[in-house]
Copies of this chain bind each other. A is one copy, B any other.
Amino acid sequence: MSGTLVVELGARSYPIDIGRGLIGDAERYRPHLAGRQVMVVTNETVAPLYLGTVEAALRSYRLEKVILPDGEQYKCLDVWNRIFDRLLAYRFGRDCTVIALGGGVIGDMAGFAAACYQRGVAFIQVPTTLLAQVDSSVGGKTGVNHRLGKNMIGAFYQPRAVLADTATLDTLPDRELSAGLAEVIKYGLVRDPALFDWLEANMGALLAREDEALAHAIERSCQNKAEVVAADELEGGQRALLNLGHTFGHAIEIGVGYGEWLHGEAVAAGICMAADLSQRLGWLDDTSVARVRGAVESARLPTSPPTGLSRQRLLDLMAVDKKVQAGRLRLVLLQGIGQAVVTDDFPPESLGDVLQAAPTAPH
């Protein structure tokens, strides 16, 4: 099966193509290439698997590539600069096209490079992980990490197209598959209770990589993302809801060191912490909390942060968050399955209790 969704952004609208075997089809790229020069940004894991297929599809173009190391710990300015080294060494012009071939890290870095090279060149997302296909490749958030904060340096920069080839998931490690499911769970909890119901019934099929189940999860997730982005591209309002679990999650990712926990794993634990806080505030009933934790567990994802991160350390890391306003931390919390709010209206003690409740090491 295959299909196409559209992110409606006026003159900057773009398609999300979903299906098997897309990356080898030149026609999927052609309408979105700005000129003859194409720079594929990928990593050491993905290149041996899929770069040849992309090169073959685009053999009539002047294609060059840059192969970066694999991992969140390499999503930094220094590694990002290697993309410019290559673009300039090959004298690529403003009419070149950057293609991101990889997961969320590659998409974020390549997109941010496309946003900034000569102040903006064409960009195509070719996500090869479930997390990138259901979430990070859509919506134009690009950027790199700073040692003091995740995704703190970046741009809103929309791609000209997203090609989600579900065949690339065949080679995805189990751990990465689970990590992607964290974002699918997120869409269900934030705004799509029917998706959440479906997830509870089909988690087994997803973990078994049944084609139809994966395609459904990707399409529904992209549909949700596309609707939110069309309504609030620059995150002035409702788009912030899609950060459910992310403020907690980013603190975990930095706290344990970039690359130790996958982004989706940290988000999964963060979703459970957000549910815990929502319960303590009396907003979420026990049954719903149990459903949240159940979904996370059944996706083989962690429900709490790792030991060794103290309450104070997590609080310090959470204080650097893009949702902080006038010095006050704001969080996405749940008022039900499918109902989320952004709020700073919670007692600090309750947040402290949530972090305390998480297993922390004695130091």
A80-96 Cβ-contact flags toward B at 8 Å (1 or 0): 01001100110101110
**Is A56 in contact with chain B by the CB < 8 A criterion?**
no
Quick one: closest B residue to A62, CB to CB?
B327
A105-128 Cβ-contact flags toward B at 8 Å (1 or 0): 000000000011111100000000
Q: How far is the CA of A149 from the CA of B118 in the complex (A)?
A: 10
Q: Are A36 and B119 interface neighbours, CB within 8 A?
A: no
Q: Tell me the A153-181 residues at the B interface (CB within 8 Å).
A: 153-156
Count this chain's copies in the assembly: 2
Which residues of chain B are within 8 angstroms of A255 by Cβ–Cβ distance?
Answer: none
State the interface size on chain A (CB cutoff 8 A): 37
Q: How far is the CA of A9 from the CA of B85 in the complex (A)?
A: 34
Q: Are A93 and B325 interface neighbours, CB within 8 A?
A: yes
Among A38-46, A67-75, A140-148, A190-198, the stretch in contact with B = A140-148
Which residue in B93, B120, B155 is a CB contact (below 8 Å) of A120?
B155
Q: Are B88 and A152 interface neighbours, CB within 8 A?
A: yes
Q: Are A36 and B154 interface neighbours, CB within 8 A?
A: no
Among A18-26, A224-232, A316-324, the stretch in contact with B = A316-324
> Given A85-B148, A146-B88, A148-B89, does the pair A118, B322 have CB atoms closer than 8 Å?
yes
Quick one: closest B residue to A319, CB to CB?
B91
Q: Are B88 and A148 interface neighbours, CB within 8 A?
A: yes
Q: Tell me the A303-327 residues at the B interface (CB within 8 Å).
A: 319-320, 322-327
Q: How far is the CA of A154 from the CA of B157 in the complex (A)?
A: 13
Q: Are A115 and B155 interface neighbours, CB within 8 A?
A: yes
Distance in Å: Cβ of A85 to nearest Cβ of chain B? 7
**Is A352 in contact with chain B by the CB < 8 A criterion?**
no
**Is A237 in contact with chain B by the CB < 8 A criterion?**
no
**Is A77 in contact with chain B by the CB < 8 A criterion?**
yes
> Given A146-B88, A149-B88, A319-B91, does the pair A141, B119 have CB atoms closer than 8 Å?
yes
Q: How far is the CA of A320 from the CA of B37 in the complex (A)?
A: 14
Q: Are B152 and A117 interface neighbours, CB within 8 A?
A: yes
Residues of A participating in the B interface, judged by any CB pair closer than 8 Å: 35-36, 77, 81, 84-85, 88-89, 91, 93-95, 115-120, 141, 143, 146, 148-149, 152-156, 234, 319-320, 322-327
In the A-B complex, the 3 residue pairs with the closest CB atoms: A88-B148, A93-B324, A118-B322
In the complex, 14 of the A-B residue pairs with CB atoms within 8 angstroms, ordered by the A residue number, are A81-B146, A84-B153, A85-B148, A94-B323, A94-B324, A95-B326, A115-B155, A116-B116, A116-B153, A116-B155, A117-B152, A117-B153, A119-B156, A120-B234
Using A77-B77, A81-B146, A84-B152 as known contacts, list a sample of 19 further A-B pairs with CB atoms less than 8 Å apart, ordered by residue number in A.
A35-B326, A36-B326, A84-B153, A85-B148, A88-B146, A88-B148, A88-B149, A89-B148, A91-B324, A93-B325, A115-B155, A116-B143, A116-B154, A117-B153, A119-B143, A119-B156, A119-B234, A120-B156, A155-B155
